[in-house]
């Protein structure tokens, strides 16, 4: 079965790569606005990519594979080394944040020549997200807010918490912070191009995190930090998994990229966050297209709402994504006839949830989709700004990291990333359905609506990257 599976995967990936250099008139975000003609119609590309996701689900259904491979141990990191890495990395990152705030206010107000704008949005916000997809979230070790809070606790000689965190809030503060910080400010305003305003955003973010932690204790970082939540969810997709022992030693293992997506999320808010992660990066790409501009100006003229129309479109689209996901999961639960749909479901926060167990169970299966499109959409942005940051800090010229990459090859890499991400999501959803429902036939029925949804996401993502970029 192992060799058969390997042959099947090689065949699928070969087909995807052939499609990636295929057809239509397309353009690539961030690299160039130049258009190129590919040898096949885009409709055929969409059909091939969607068919690849469908065939992945069909193969799983036919073979009945429902057991994820066990992680492979790679090695251990001693407690001493882990501590030095944590302290050193946190100190260096904290110094970078302080420098970004200071230089953002006092330095030259040119986006490409100021550490604040070069470091904060591409290298910090987006770069750490891409890193989390490889080795898991490093934010607990790097977060300056946690370090300052720990220092304040040491000065007081006790853990600071003025009151208990309200359970009813769940992770909704993190959802709200994500929508404001990454959904609206980063994507829909000019703030990321202003060093001073970027410094103000970072300072406001710091005050919100520290103030909340002093009020509610360290649980605030877990429930209300939008970046921490994003990196933690993206870390579920990482193939390199690190687990801390009681003595501080770190066990490092290699696992399947869908394995971390098989565990339910801790509540409805986190499920909405997962959907918002998929939607926001898609909306970000959509805002660069001519179709978005036509829609934006059409709605502005019809409603007379002015500049806030973009925020309105973002929120309306988000509600549509969430509603579609909830409707599909409800259909999944109906078709799967889960015997455990009304039972308590264990979640990663250590508690249980009743009633919406299917939503909590299937929400993590969307994370490979969000991860794949985030990498496809942002990796040139991150790499080019990381090189620019080295130039600003070190004073040495760094070649453009992707200057050697032809535009068709870059676009092909986007296609490959998106399709593979959707394939991983389909595998994760199959495993969740097989574990949740009583029989293989029930799992097949339940998995079907999710496959349709994921094919829709695949086509939508490919359509977005196929559109000419409008600046």
CA-to-CA dists, residue 414 to 26, 39, 285, 387, 447, angstroms: 12, 17, 12, 21, 26
Handedness of CA 354, 356, 357, 360 (dihedral sign): negative
Inter-residue contact 436 to 337 (CB < 8 Å): no
Task: Give the helix/strand (H/E) hosting 302.
Answer: helix 290-303
Quick one: 456 and 334 in the same domain?
yes
Quick one: 283 and 319 in the same domain?
yes
What residue has token string 């490979």?
368
CB half-sphere exposure, 407, CA atoms < 13 A: 17
- Helices marked H in 304-366: 309-336, 357-362
Domain of 187?
70-255
Quick one: 63 and 105 in the same domain?
no
Quick one: 319 and 242 in the same domain?
no
Choosing from 227, 255, 283, the residue where a domain stops is 255
Quick one: 62 and 74 in the same domain?
no
Question: Can you spell out the DSSP letters for 157-200?
Answer: TS---SSPPPGGGTTHHHHHHHIIIIIIIHHHSSGGG-HHHHHH
How do strand 240-244 and strand 250-254 relate by DSSP bridges? Answer: antiparallel
Inter-residue contact 234 to 270 (CB < 8 Å): no
Quick one: 92 and 181 in the same domain?
yes
Quick one: 186 and 144 in the same domain?
yes
| Confidence (pTM) | 0.86
What residue has token string 């078709």?
335
Choosing from 235, 255, 275, the residue where a domain stops is 255
Choosing from 215, 235, 255, the residue where a domain stops is 255
Phi and psi at residue 221, to the nearest 5°: -65, -35
Quick one: 208 and 221 in the same domain?
yes
Quick one: 301 and 188 in the same domain?
no
> What is the Cα–Cα distance from 395 to 110, expressed in whole angstroms?
17
Q: Which residues contact 156 (CB under 8 A, 6 or more apart)?
A: none
Spell out the per-residue pLDDT of the chain, length 471, in tens: 444 444 444 444 444 333 333 333 333 344 444 444 544 566 666 666 677 777 777 777 666 655 566 788 889 999 999 999 999 999 999 999 999 999 999 999 999 999 999 999 999 999 999 999 999 999 999 999 999 999 999 998 888 999 999 999 999 999 999 999 999 999 999 999 999 999 999 999 999 999 999 999 999 999 999 999 999 999 999 999 998 888 888 999 999 999 999 999 999 999 999 999 999 999 998 998 888 999 999 999 899 888 889 999 999 999 999 999 999 999 988 888 644 444 444 444 433 344 478 999 999 999 999 999 999 989 999 999 999 999 999 888 888 888 888 877 887 888 888 888 888 998 898 889 888 887 777 777 878 888 888 888 888 888 887 776 665
Taking residue 387's Cβ as centre, other Cβ atoms within 10 Å add up to: 18
Quick one: 216 and 320 in the same domain?
no
Quick one: 390 and 467 in the same domain?
yes
> What is the Cα–Cα distance from 301 to 72, expressed in whole angstroms?
58
Quick one: 323 and 455 in the same domain?
yes
How many independent structural domains does the chain possess?
Answer: 2
């Amino acid at each position: 079965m192992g060799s058969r599976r390997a042959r099947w995967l090689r065949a699928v990936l070969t087909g995807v790569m052939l499609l990636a250099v295929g057809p239509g008139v397309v353009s690539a975000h961030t690299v160039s606005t130049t258009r190129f003609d590919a040898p096949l119609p885009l409709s055929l590309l969409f059909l091939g990519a969607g068919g690849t996701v469908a065939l992945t689900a069909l193969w799983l259904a036919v073979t009945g594979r429902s057991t994820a491979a066990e992680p492979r141990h790679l090695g251990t990191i001693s407690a001493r080394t882990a501590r030095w890495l944590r302290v050193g990395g946190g100190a260096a990152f904290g110094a970078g944040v302080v420098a970004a705030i200071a230089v953002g206010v006092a330095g030259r107000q040119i986006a490409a020549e100021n550490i604040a704008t070069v470091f904060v949005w591409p290298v910090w916000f987006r770069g750490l997200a891409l890193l989390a997809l490889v080795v898991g979230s490093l934010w607990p070790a790097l977060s300056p807010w946690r370090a300052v809070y720990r220092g304040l606790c040491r000065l007081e000689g006790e853990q600071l918490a003025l009151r208990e965190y309200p359970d009813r809030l769940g992770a909704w503060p993190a959802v709200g912070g994500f929508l404001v910080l990454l959904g609206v400010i980063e994507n829909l305003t000019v703030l990321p191009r202003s060093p001073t305003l970027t410094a103000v955003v970072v300072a406001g973010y710091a005050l919100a995190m520290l103030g909340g932690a002093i009020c509610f204790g360290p649980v605030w970082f877990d429930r209300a930090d939008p970046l921490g939540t994003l990196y933690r969810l993206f870390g579920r997709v990482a193939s390199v998994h690190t687990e801390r022992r009681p003595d501080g030693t770190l066990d490092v293992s290699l696992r399947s990229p869908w394995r971390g997506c098989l565990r339910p999320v801790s509540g409805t808010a986190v499920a909405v966050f997962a959907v918002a992660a998929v939607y926001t990066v898609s909306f970000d790409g959509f805002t660069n297209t001519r179709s978005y501009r036509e829609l934006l100006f059409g709605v502005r003229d019809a409603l007379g709402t002015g500049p806030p129309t973009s925020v309105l479109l973002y929120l309306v689209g988000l509600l549509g994504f969430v509603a579609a996901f909830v409707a599909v999961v409800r259909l999944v639960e109906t078709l799967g006839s889960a015997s455990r749909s009304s039972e308590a479901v264990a979640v990663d926060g250590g508690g249980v949830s009743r009633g919406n167990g299917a939503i909590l169970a299937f929400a993590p299966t969307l994370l490979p989709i969000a991860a794949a499109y985030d990498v496809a959409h942002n990796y040139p942005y991150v790499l080019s700004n990381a090189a620019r940051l080295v130039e600003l800090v070190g004073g040495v010229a760094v070649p453009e990291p992707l200057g050697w990459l032809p535009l068709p090859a870059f676009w092909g890499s986007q296609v490959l990333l998106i399709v593979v991400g959707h394939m991983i999501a389909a595998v994760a959803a199959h495993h969740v359905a097989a574990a949740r429902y009583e029989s293989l036939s029930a799992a097949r029925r339940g998995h079907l609506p999710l496959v349709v949804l994921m094919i829709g996401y695949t086509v939508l993502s490919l359509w977005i990257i196929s559109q000419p970029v409008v600046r």
